[in-house]
Amino acid sequence: MRFGFVIDQRKCIGCHACTVACKEENQVPLGAFRTWVKYVERGAFPSTRRYFSVLRCNHCDAAPCVTICPTVALHRRPDGIVDLDGARCIGCKSCMQACPYDALYIDPDTQTAAKCHYCAHRVEVGLAPACVIVCPEQAIVAGDLDDPASPVARLVAREQVQVRKPEQGTRPKVFYLGADTAALSPELQAAGERFMWGERPPAEASLVRMVAGLHGGDGRPDGARARTVYDVPHMPRPWGGKVSSYLWTKSIAAGAGLITAGASGLLAAAGAAISLLFLALTAALLVLDLRRPDRFLYILLKPNRRSWLVWGAWILIAFGIVETLVLAGALRGSPPGMALATAAVLLAVATAGYSAFLFGQAEGRDFWQSPLKLPHLVVAAIAAGSAALLLVAPGWTGSGLAFGRPEIALHDDRGTPASTLAPILLGTLVIHALLIGADLFSRHASHDAALAARLLRRGALAPRLWGGALGVGVLLPLVLVFLGAGTESAALTAAGAVLALAGLWIYEDAWVKAGQSVPLS
């Protein structure tokens, strides 16, 4: 059994009866929608035609929201309905990033995710979904797609139907009959700040202006064949500054632990202390970003082992334990053994890199699917860790880079920490800049990914990239750290390290924003 919908766009009159019935049946709060009707127009007066697109959860057979949900709040039932258990939801908003159809929202009353659940409470007692009952034109057909005798299965088998974003591979179960492709594809629509009867919310209008600035003088996307004349509000950028800062603090923690893995003495203590401090900040940011922070332990108590949010939590905990052991050993004056040093290296790399897999599960954001993200996160972590260590290195008189060899003393004259860390920072900043260029200027697999990259290259986010991430964060640190190393100036080296850290945060913030700036519906 697989329940699904057919939306007959030839019959839809855009009356919004389905929207109103859904809101009343499920007590959907004001400003939120589980199903909505979008008006799209094509042509120029007097040869203009309006299309009505009925949009909702697609109850995908391969639903990415189910995979990424860390607490199994989202699950696919045996009858094919993708349902949500609000009692398990922690409000992490990852499902909103995973859904390519913009079908989920945060309920303002419960602060948990919500969406169309096929009126499962009605289906279970033999009733049709509320939207089906009220549609005056019978444009919404629901039923079992696996039952060849059902009307919905016959329509799918007999008629030429289409689905939204088939390239995503989610196998959606909302089929459109007689729909214009431009009415279902955001990339073929020119979005405006104003509608027939109102305006977009300010934050959403700002994103529309941002994306429109990438196109021609009329703001129409390349190949656009339609324009949006009515839509409902959508939550702009579910992940904000806390997620950007989490990536940054995590990179410092991972980099400091990786660089000092196997070290002894003051360097080992400093690296472990920095790692633990920024791991604590990372955990705090993750919890504060939840809409239900009181439920943050659900990630550990009710885990979905397919979600990289869960794997990330386990990795952070394991890395924290290892760094605590390293710090305790350094304070006692004993170098770490090979097993502890190896564990520190592996967990530091995992801490830096697991977010690449987490963003990869956010399948609604094509720009985040880059295969370069994993190596980029590791390189950024090494740069961030070396910069953080350089800020405390000027007061040291020896390297302490013992790597398990206690015969090398803290006051060894073979070099200072700065002389070792500066080349690491310089090299990783160069690689960081090259990876940014490869990510932004390479050929992208989808329109959305290319548009997000263009937004960073020459759009509204370009000043942050060129002036902040690359100018302040790469070019100036290269000069300052190089001069500081050559002149043995601790002030120049420290200034370069601070700017490098600032540039890394600016890039992460711009990268997170760019991926969420392209409309999904």
pLDDT tens, position by position, 466-478: 999 999 999 999 9
Using CB atoms within 10 Å of the CB of residue 136, give its burial: 0 to 12 exposed, 13 to 18 middle, 19+ buried. Answer: exposed
Element containing residue 420 per DSSP (H, E): helix 417-441
Please give the angle made by the CA atoms of 41, 47 and 49, to the nearest 5 degrees: 30
Work out the pLDDT band at 339, boundaries 50, 70, 90. Answer: very high
pLDDT for the residue numbered 412: 36
pLDDT for the residue numbered 402: 35
How far is residue 129 CA from its own chain's centroid? 32
pLDDT for the residue numbered 193: 78
Task: Output the six-digit token pair for 313.
Answer: 């939590």
- Considering only CA atoms, give the Rg of the chain: 26
Q: What mean pLDDT comes out for the span 409-430?
A: 71
Cα 313 from Cα 317, distance rounded (Å): 6
Q: Directed axis angle between helix 447-458 and helix 417-441, to 10°?
A: 120
Cα dihedral sign, 506-509-514-517: negative
Cα 75 from Cα 81, distance rounded (Å): 8
Cα 83 from Cα 71, distance rounded (Å): 13
Q: What mean pLDDT comes out for the span 98-112?
A: 96
Q: What mean pLDDT comes out for the span 478-493?
A: 89
Which residue, among 259, 286, 283, has the nearest Cα to 270 in the 3D structure?
259
Is pLDDT of 124 > 80? yes
**For residue range 276-305, what is the model confidence (pLDDT) as tens digits?**
999 999 999 999 999 999 999 999 999 999
**For residue range 184-220, what is the model confidence (pLDDT) as tens digits?**
998 888 887 788 777 888 888 888 888 876 765 444 5
Q: What mean pLDDT comes out for the span 71-82?
A: 97
Work out the pLDDT band at 503, boundaries 50, 70, 90. Answer: very high
* Selected residue with higher pLDDT from 354 and 43: 354
In angstroms, the first-to-last Cα distance of the chain is: 28
Residue labelled with tokens 């196997």: 262
Torsion of the alpha carbons at 286, 291, 295 and 296, rounded to the nearest 10 = -10
Q: Report all structural domains of the chain as residue ranges with CATH numbers, in order of start.
A: 3-230 (3.30.70.20), 241-515 (1.20.1630.10)
Residue 366's contacts (CB-CB under 8 Å, 6 or more residues apart) are 444, 445, 446, 448, 449, 452, 518
Q: What mean pLDDT comes out for the span 119-126?
A: 96
Residue 218's contacts (CB-CB under 8 Å, 6 or more residues apart) are 190
**For residue range 41-53, what is the model confidence (pLDDT) as tens digits?**
988 888 889 999 9
Cα 129 from Cα 380, distance rounded (Å): 49
Is pLDDT of 411 > 60? no
* Beta strands, E only, 180-239: 189-190, 226-230
- How many residues are listed for the chain in this entry? 521
Cα 96 from Cα 305, distance rounded (Å): 19
Q: Share the mean pLDDT of the chain.
A: 91
pLDDT for the residue numbered 481: 92
Other C-beta atoms closer than 10 Å to the C-beta of 353 total 18
**For residue range 158-185, what is the model confidence (pLDDT) as tens digits?**
999 999 999 999 999 999 999 988 889 9
Cα 303 from Cα 329, distance rounded (Å): 33
Contact 112, 92 (CB under 8 A): no
